[in-house]
Structures are given as structure tokens and as C-alpha cells.
Structure 1
Amino acid sequence: MPDSNLRQDSAATPIASLKGHHIAIRVPDYEAAKSWYVEKLGFRVIQEWPFGDLHLAYVAPPHDDSFYFEIIGDGEVNDAPIYHDINSSMYKAGHHHLCMTVNDVDEAIAYLDSKGVTIIGVPFNLEAIHRRLAFFTDPWGNLFELAQVID
């Protein structure tokens, strides 16, 4: 089995320079979603544009200019699954969650809870990866993880 920790030379393949840029989140109400990410998570609106009958925006975390959420809203949309605990969410195929790091998971979850954000379960340690983890959702069922490095 090849060592997955080895970095490829940037000239080795056309995709060796690949980096994350954004994740797209489909919601039924563009303005409500934009407001939620700004008011609840403190995100900044970077850019907005129309696409047919849809409205789109890049929003970014307060201190990260390298990764965006792309909100795709309005138009016709199907309902997403809504999870009430992390264990039941693990058996649905496809995109599961997006993880973001924070300095202190417990403080971050307490803050989000005070803002009325839906918290999924309680923070827990996962020793196998040296992380303290917690999960929350936006009002449209998109699942997010917060991670803190622990010793």
C-alpha cells in the first residue's frame, strides 16, 4: 500500500497543485441563508451574482480568505435529510459534512448554542485522531463538524 503521507512533486501530475476553494450549499431561500451564515457564524459576504433564476454568493469565515462557502439559493429545491444525532447520519451515501477547525470546541459550541444554532449531540474526544469534535447544522440540514487538536 502506498504511503498516503508522501507529497507528490507539483510537476508530477496536472492535479498535484489541487487545493480546496469552496463548498456549495443548496438552500431554498437565498436571503435567509445569507443572513444565517452572516448572523450566526459571523461569515462575510465576499461576492454575489445571479445564475438564471438562482442567486449565489461566496461567504467566508471571519478570518479565512482561502476557503469559501458558495450559497446557491432560490428556485426549486428538494428537501435534504435532517439529522438529530451524528450516528444516524453515518449511513446516508454522498456528502456527509464539512469540518472546520477552532481553538476550543466547547467554547465554539456554547457560542453557537447561544445564537440558536442547532447542535447535534455533545462534544466528544476521538483519541484515534487526537481531536475534540462537535457537530451542528444550518436550518436546511447541512451538517458541519468543529474540530480541536488535543494532546
Structure 2
Amino acid sequence: MSDLTLRQDAAANPIASIRGHHIAIRVPDYEAAKNWYVEKLGFRVLQEWPFGDMNLAYVAPPHDDSFVIELIGDGEASEAPQYEDLGSSLRQPGHHHLCWNVNNVDEAIAYLAAQGVTLVGEPFEVEAIHRRLAFFADPWGNLFELAQATA
């Protein structure tokens, strides 16, 4: 099947308009998580609402509302894994990380380190995809990647 045929088929696909909106992150303490994302990452709270015994919020990066994080907190929650190195984290099934593009990975990681954010390994380059990458984690074990184009 040619690339053109695939594109034509996609135009008739009822989910061809699919676009990312948010990723939900379950945290045990809603207020602590909301404060961490605002204070450490500079995120903004876009909306908040209750759901049963839980509280939820959409939080967004400082200058981008196109893809947000939905925090789901309070109520009963299980313990999340804590990663200390990227290699071992890649062995776990399921969601692994969320990636954001930044202008400069090294400057972004230095800023996060100054904020006391947990860094997971050192920044590194993957020449096959022309990217410099770095990983960090929130206090609840959620991994995030920062990516910078290198080519």
C-alpha cells in the first residue's frame, strides 16, 4: 500500500481528526501535586473540579494550552514506582513518559535542578532522531522527557 493510499484512507477514517489534549496523572495528594507543578515547573491551573472523593485539575505549561496534564488526586491511591535510572524504567510495561520540546535541554535541566526537581540520569543525544534528551520525575514517580532538536 502506497503512502498516498494510506493518506486517502486516513481522510475517510472517523478518528482522522484525533489530536492530543491531555494526559491524566493519578496522585495521592491533590493540593501537593497542584502546588508542585505550579511552583517547580511554572505551570498554570486552567480548571479545577471535584469527582466523587477526588479533586481534578487541568494544568498547562507557562505558554502552551494545546496539551495539558490532568491531575487526579485525593481519595485512595496505590504507591507509584520511583525510578532512579532511565534504563531500568524502560523495563516496566504501560505508560512510560510524556515528552515536551524545549529550546535548550541543558538550560531547562539546570533550571529544574535549581528548583529541586528529581533528575533521572544525565542529558544525552540520540543521533538517529537528531535530539538531545533529558528526563526528570515528579514526586509521585511520573517520568517526563525534555527534547531539543540537534539538526
Same fold, TM-score > 0.5, yes or no = yes
Q: Which residue of 1 aligns with 2:146?
A: 146
- Aligned partners of 1:70, 1:9: CA distance in 2, in Å? 32
Matched, 1:120 2:131: no
1:30 CA drift (Å)? 0.1
Partners in 2 of 1:72 and 1:111 — Cα distance? 26
Whole-angstrom distance in 2 between the partners of 1:91 and 1:32: 29
Q: 1:12, CA displacement in angstroms?
A: 1.1
> What per-residue deviation string (whole Å, max 9, x for no partner) do you get for residues 85-128 of structure 1?
00000110000000000000000000000000000000000001
SS at the partner of 1:66?
coil
Higher helix share: 2
**Residue pairs, 1:130-145, within 5 angstroms:** 130-145=130-145
- Once the 2 structures are TM-superposed, how far is the Cα of residue 65 of structure 1 from its aligned partner? 1.2
1:77 corresponds to 2:70: no
Q: Contact 1:58/1:68 (CA < 8 Å) preserved in 2?
A: yes
Q: In structure 1, how many angstroms separate the alpha carbons of the residues matched to 2:120 and 2:137? A: 7
TM-score of the pair, normalised by structure 2 = 0.95
Q: Identify unmatched segments of 5+ residues in structure 2.
A: none
8 and 52 in structure 1: CA distance in 2 versus 1, 3 angstrom threshold: farther
1:12 is matched with which residue?
A: 12
Does 2:88 align with 1:88? Answer: yes
